Amino acid sequence: MYKLYAILIGVLITIMVTFNGVLESHIGNFLAVLVIHIVGLSSISLILLLRQERPTIKKGIPLYLYTGGAIGILLVLVNNICFSNLGASLTLSLGVFGQLLLSSIIDHFGLMGMKAYKFQLKKLIGFSIILVGLIIMTIY
């Protein structure tokens, strides 16, 4: 079931990047990022309100874990820039490749408090196939 959820994540990211990129073409990059995050803040606030949950911040959590929002702003900004110059498929394909590379490093070394999953050389076959596909997509 979780693998289907992961596929759904990919579908939702594609829809999000496309909507964000088109919005950017209508109202500009920085205003689009602002609107996108205001809508996101409003949406999660409404969900918390409907669930009657009170947000609380616990002590002892490392500060860097709270930087996801700032990273999200940078992500949307760069996605919008790439979308208008590369299109949806190349932007998302290169983004997924970047995710694959960094997540493999995080897994291998157990960075950021994650359990270590050592990199197996047989994974290089998959990396190579993806890289060849990206090169072909970039050229053509």
Measured between alpha carbons, how far is 45 from 55 in angstroms, rounded to an integer? 10
How far is residue 89 from each of residues 11, 69, 84, 120, measured CA to CA in Å? 12, 25, 11, 28
* Residues 51-73: tens digit of each pLDDT: 999 888 889 998 888 899 999 99
For 16-32, letters b (16+ CB in 10 Å) and e give ebbebbebbeeeebeeb
pTM of the model: 0.79
C-alpha–C-alpha distance, residues 24 and 35, integer Å: 10
Domain residue limits, the chain: 1-86, 87-140
Structure tokens at 31: 């205003």
Digit-coded pLDDT (tens) for 11-52:
999 999 999 999 999 999 999 999 999 999 999 999 999 999
